[in-house]
Amino acid sequence: MPLLEVNHLHVKLRTHRGPAYAVRDVSFSLERGETLGLVGESGCGKSITAMSLMGLLPENAEVTGSIRFNGEELTTKSDAAMCDIRGNRIGMIFQEPMTALNPVHSIGRQVAEPLRLHRGLSADDARKEAIALLDRVGIPDAARRIDAFPHQFSGGQRQRITIAMALACGPDLLIADEPTTALDVTVQRQILDLISELVAERGMALILISHDLGVIAQNVARMLVMYGGSVVESGPTDAVFEHRMHPYTWGLFAARPGLKSRKGQRLATIAGTVPELVDLPAGCPFAGRCKFTVPECHATPPPPVEFEPGHQARCIRLDAVAAAKREGVAA
Amino acid sequence: MSADRPPEGARTAARSAEVSVSAAPLLQVENLVREYAMPREKLFAPPPKVHALNGVSFTIEAGRSMGIVGESGSGKSTLARLVMALDKPTAGSVKLLGRDLHTLPAEELRQARRDIQMVFQDPYGSLDPRQSIERIVTEPLAAQGDTSREERHQRAVDTLASVGLRANDLGKYPHEFSGGQRQRIAIARALITRPRLIVADEPVSALDVSVQAQVLNLMQDLQAEFGITYMLISHDLAVVHHLCDDVAVLWQGRIVEQGPPERLFTAAEHPYTQALLEAVPQAEPARRTRAARAEQIPLATSGQSRG
């Protein structure tokens, strides 16, 4: 039995402009110790997917489909029951460490909080455990700094503290939502290394959410490319990077400036802008921005097409895309 | 591009006073130092100081682009503020076409500002939500105070066209535009005075990848068309590599390495530059390696945490 099994997940947000289909028919599964990346641009539904796993969706959200975690259905659980899982069996690391930490509590108290709440440790034991955790995530002189406050740490150190909080109860699944976007590249590397190390050391499963293809390439074994609320391509990271089957994946790769591109070279762009979730087209979300669009693309959401085992793309024009790629046409 | 823009010859003639000194490089920064006083720690001791910039010198020739890379706390933004004459240096000079911006009388500085414009990082924060696009884009001209309302309107129409927006966008408000379009508006606002130098502080880091490419292409086109010089501040080495002829690596208030990106990014000499390059995530699985680490380099940010 996989650790996490998401089947036909739909999330509808009621907004004043009408319903927004933030997640449309997302399915994936995750084994213990496996790493999965979610990549996409802002508004593609990657954070909403993560929030639905945590049961932290806004009030105006409606979830259909199923999320099974350790064999238990999460979508029908009460708030109280979710509180037992959240922070205990599923840990989460957020993008902005300064807002994820409470500025008026010492870091020791914040790291100890899940230990006292979920594992019922005494204040003394929780403090000892918190020092060990802070030490493990690389806070220098943890025993002395445990009573310091978040503002006394640098951005990278703060993110280490939120990692210690997420790890406190030894979760089965760690969700990291853009954990390094607010950090410098050199610090980003250290934090990503730390997360990888901990995932391997504790046998946790990892869902890493990022808009940065480089971060995904280096840290996860499998990936989902999301666009307009649906998964447009999914598969092993190496295979997705090699084949870039879906025209959106292809365009996303081509649009990135690289350290190897020559100066003065123009970047390939994707025409138009990311659609708003409220006015998503009925058919393929990428239809219209995609230069392979045919009238059928607008009709119904395309079904997943398997390219090789475990590597799928939702596109009805894959043959045309592959042909264009062979001829070396730009996306 | 609009045909009614004055020909290049007219523009240079209008600036003949400057042409005589323009044998000097467009921008020359010499030994720039900026200290900030920290809160006093002891009653009778002088307050401690932070050296945000510690003797920075470089020159940018007209029509070329200089990239400034470095992490937060390395002094990038202080440098931008000093080049824009928004802040006074503790020592050193910033010369634009041979004139030292920080010793110019107020009125001359105001006139000199038409040659330097800035594009900010966050296109959501840098446009006033209560002003129409026309007012936002023409504000630099209005501040110069030597144009009529009709002239300003016409310049706004032309400038908006050059960044790929339409004249009927002038009556709209910022919330009606996407992030990429807002950054185009911010670029139009910088272009409207026909500046020589645009200081762009992380112009694309708030944008999505597909939109980022559109803005980078636009910046390149504008440089080819108007000969604009960019000083590009970024933490993204790939963006700097794409746009710049020359790169300076700033670390703890000093330039530790400088050169063309082809050389700097293949044969970096300073350990900080090497660490920076090594840390860039590579989107090529073949190069995926978790081996070489560079954590030994003391980082500018870690030194500042107290406690």
Residue pLDDT, tens place only, A295-331: 999 999 899 999 888 999 999 999 998 888 888 765 4
Partner residue opposite B276 with nearest CB, options A186, A238, A252:
A186
- Whether the per-residue pLDDT at B2 is higher than 80: the answer is no
pLDDT tens by residue, B92-113: 999 999 899 999 999 899 888 9
Q: For residue A196, give the chain B residue with the closest CA.
A: B290
Between residues 217 and 236 of chain A, which touch chain B (CB distance below 8 Å)? Answer: 217-218
Band (B238; pLDDT cuts 50, 70, 90): confident
User: How many beta-carbon pairs under 8 angstroms link A with B?
Assistant: 142
Contact A196 B290 (CB under 8 A): yes
Nearest residue in B to A249, CA atom: B210
State the pLDDT at residue B283.
66
What averages of pLDDT result for each successive group of 10 residues across chain A (331 residues)? 94 88 93 93 87 91 94 92 92 88 94 93 94 92 93 90 93 93 83 92 93 89 93 94 91 82 74 77 88 91 90 92 79 48
CB contact under 8 A, A193 and B306: no
Local confidence band at B47 (pLDDT 50, 70, 90 cut-offs): confident
CB contact under 8 A, A273 and B211: yes
Under the banding of pLDDT at 50, 70 and 90, the label for residue B284 is: low
- CB-closest option in B208, B220, B305 to A42: B208
As a whole number, the mean pLDDT across chain B is 82
Q: Which of B235, B243, B279 sits opposite A189 (nearest CB)?
A: B279
Interface touch A263/B261, C-beta < 8 Å = yes
Supply the pTM of this predicted model. Answer: 0.81
* DSSP symbols for B187-250: HHHHHTT--SEEEEESTTTTS-HHHHHHHHHHHHHHHHHH--EEEEEES-HHHHHHH-SEEEEE
Cβ of B76 under 8 Å from any chain A Cβ?
Answer: no
Q: What is the pLDDT of residue B20?
A: 44
As a whole number, mean pLDDT of residues B117-123 equals 89
Kindly state the DSSP code that residue A117 receives in the 8-state scheme: H
**CB-CB neighbours of A71 under 10 Å:** 9
Determine the pLDDT at residue B300: 40
CA dist B183 to A8, B68, B121, B148, Å?
A: 37, 20, 9, 26
User: Does A259 sit within 8 Å of B283, measured CB to CB?
Assistant: no
List CB contacts (< 8 A) between A191 and chain B.
none
pLDDT of B22 strictly over 60: no
Residue B302: the pLDDT is 38
Strand arrangement of the beta sheet that strand A72-73 belongs to:
A18-30, A4-15, A61-69, A72-73
Does the beta-carbon distance from B283 to A258 stay under 8 Å? yes
Kind and range of the H or E element at A49?
helix A46-54
Q: What is the pLDDT of residue A64?
A: 94
Question: Predicted confidence band at B31 (pLDDT cuts at 50, 70, 90)?
Answer: very high
Out of B288, B290, B301, whose CB is closest to A155?
B301
Q: Which residues contact B122 (CB under 8 A, 6 or more apart)?
A: B206
